[in-house]
Amino acid sequence: MTSEAFDFDLFVIGAGSGGVRAARVAASLGARVAIAEDRYMGGTCVNVGCVPKKLYVYASEFSKGFTDSSGFGWQGDAPTFDWPTLRDRKKAEISRLNAIYERLLEAPGATIISGRARLLDPHTVTVEGQTFRAQKILIATGTWPYLPDLPGKEHMLTSNEIFDLEHFPKRLLIVGGGYIATEFAGIFNGLGAEVVQAYRGDLFMRGFDDDIRQFLAQEVRKTGVDLRFNTNPKSIEPSANGYRAVFEDDTELEIDAILCATGRRPNVADLNLECTSVGFNENGFIAVNDEFQTAEASVYALGDLIGGEQLTPVALAEGMAFARREFGAGGHVVDYDFIPTAVFSQPNVGTVGYTEAAARHSFGRLDIYRSEYRPMKHTLSGRDERSMMKLIVDQASQRVIGVHMVGPDAGEILQGMAIALRMGATKIDFDRTIGIHPTAAEELVTLREVDSD
């Protein structure tokens, strides 16, 4: 069928990071592009994810700064925190970013359609009563928070609502052990709430290096977060002063709010994918090939809902690769090796490459270098906070295959390490590199003693 038989060359469903990048690049390459969004421009990252989360992290860190400043000679009472000011200024910033995303799409000529899109067949989409024919359809609707099936789950908040609460919760229960739960524990603890973080497993942050997980738990507890492992609420009910959570061991907890961060599922409800051959993998994510093509030849998918690394830069890279391959010169692929990750917990986590367990499985014998130290700032602040760095080196080749850090600015430091690891840097390259003094980052090029092999 010729392109003239279609209204658009590409119809994108979902204006999040991956969808917007794909639509914008495809349009700039001359494709006729439409993009449909039923909530907000920019998707999860801009509206209820990375951006507002980082702004709230900044806000929460001021409380520690006010306290620590006395050790540097600053005197006087710390200012009080006003939740509505933070919440409303955040809303204004997100509105500004929403408008920027619209301009990014309009500039190359993409058509923006407001409303929930549904497929009628492998080439036909309907939005708010309008029907469009497209040669290719790209699904980029991301994921949606998942609530466990327990009595009272309707009283739980998700990361979609937590940013915009009418009243600040002085007592907050967070259920979950991933990076979202851990980041929000630090945020609300820093803003002045009493925070309990409950996780059903032995140790939170599953998938990260075990040393990092253990060290982070130690440091998070120092900040005042009540970490509770091997426990989970079995019911939630309203009480006279908020809510009562009853745990599996029958202990109870009175709180003002409950944040559930126990996972996310593909946001594909009402898309009517049943009219196509689009399939799902064993974990419930849309199955695609290396070109992001589903089992239906005209339908593609990328970003969080295909179940890979659920990170905004990954979705952006996938959107770019898809657009260039389908509407440009082709041949562009995404390299998923050595993707750096930052967790804006308090303290921060930065990581790139293999965990120790994964490296032992893939490489065998390793040289492990560790350093645990007190940040220079806290020699005067008096805060009982420590940092940790870890290098994982393949013993045979001496290539550095993993770098992990817990401490201030871990994400900023690990971005540079990601470049080094992708280029195949060895421990000798690290040793020959002169550090910047005095910084935390110089620790990574001064590690000399092998901790274990």
Print burial letters for 148-163: b (CB count within 10 Å at least 16), e (below 16). Answer: eebebeebbbbbeebb
Contacts of 14 (CB under 8 A, 6+ apart): 35, 36, 37, 43, 139, 140, 141, 142, 267, 303
The DSSP secondary structure of 333-386, one letter per residue, reads: ----TT--EEE--SS-EEEEE--HHHHHHHH-SEEEEEEEE--TTHHHH-----
Give the span between the Cα atoms of 159 and 310, in whole angstroms. 15
CA distances from 327 to 26, 242, 293, 319, 443 (A): 6, 55, 14, 12, 46
CA-wise closest residue to 41 among 128, 126, 110: 110
Give the span between the Cα atoms of 174 and 180, in whole angstroms. 10
- Contact call for residues 256 and 172 (beta carbons, < 8 A): yes
Question: What are 406's strand-pairing partners?
Answer: 349, 388
- Contact call for residues 198 and 228 (beta carbons, < 8 A): yes
Give the span between the Cα atoms of 19 and 438, in whole angstroms. 42
Among 123, 155, 378, 437, the active-site one is 437
Give the span between the Cα atoms of 208 and 212, in whole angstroms. 7
- Cα 322 → chain centroid: 22
CA-wise closest residue to 284 among 298, 299, 270, 263: 263
Q: Could you tell me the two tokens for 13?
A: 């469903």
Q: Is 332 a catalytic residue?
A: no
The angle subtended at Cα 84 by Cα 83 and Cα 85, nearest 5°, is 90
- Positions annotated as catalytic residues are 437
